[in-house]
Structure 1
């Protein structure tokens, strides 16, 4: 994991290396209830990679869980993203601003994760 001090409002954990083991360790620390989903996704990705003789399923796994970790390691950002997604899902107001902010958060977390 790469350490980067961000002050008192920094991340819960450093951004891990983009490997299944490092991502699993990070998820176990910040969202332990999601480890079974990560394990299932890794199993499916490995199986699909073998069947298709392609690394694409494993790359998709790493991308998905790296973004998840990059979001969840910042509790305020994770809470804001959930609120924005609730706004979009509820359909009670114009979701345009929420969608723009969701896109911005996801782009920032992809960059933070090195994707």
Structure 2
């Protein structure tokens, strides 16, 4: 039996790694992002058809599974919102607040991706 780290109260259980399960989970916790997910899927499908590589679809599923991980965990979601505010609230990429926000966004995305790919 493996133990999962304690991240506090999770809004929903982690969905299975299937497109339908990830879409249903996103609809429950962040329905405002469904359009974004669909547009991204259409872009990825076009790229996969154009070059014949399924990797585009695998990347799409991993990306959205990680986005659900961020949305379903209040700890990650709060960090993500704070980092986005720092990035969007600065005027320059050279600003230390911007750099710090980008570093935190990268860390949150990496943590979410690790959680869904283990």
Partner of 1:45: 44
1:58-89 alpha-carbon deviations (Å, 9 max, x no partner): 02211220111010001342122111121122
1:17-72 alpha-carbon deviations (Å, 9 max, x no partner): 22211111111111112112212222222232122110122022112201110100
Structure 1 segments unaligned to the other structure (5+ residues): none
CA distance, structure 1, for counterparts of residue 102 and residue 27 of structure 2: 29
Which secondary structure state, in structure 2, belongs to the residue aligned with residue 18 of structure 1?
coil
Name the TM-score, length of structure 1 as normaliser. 0.79
Structure 2 segments unaligned to the other structure (5+ residues): none
CA distance, structure 2, for counterparts of residue 18 and residue 74 of structure 1: 17
Shifted more, 92-101 versus 29-38: the winner is: 92-101
1:101 aligns with 2:117: no
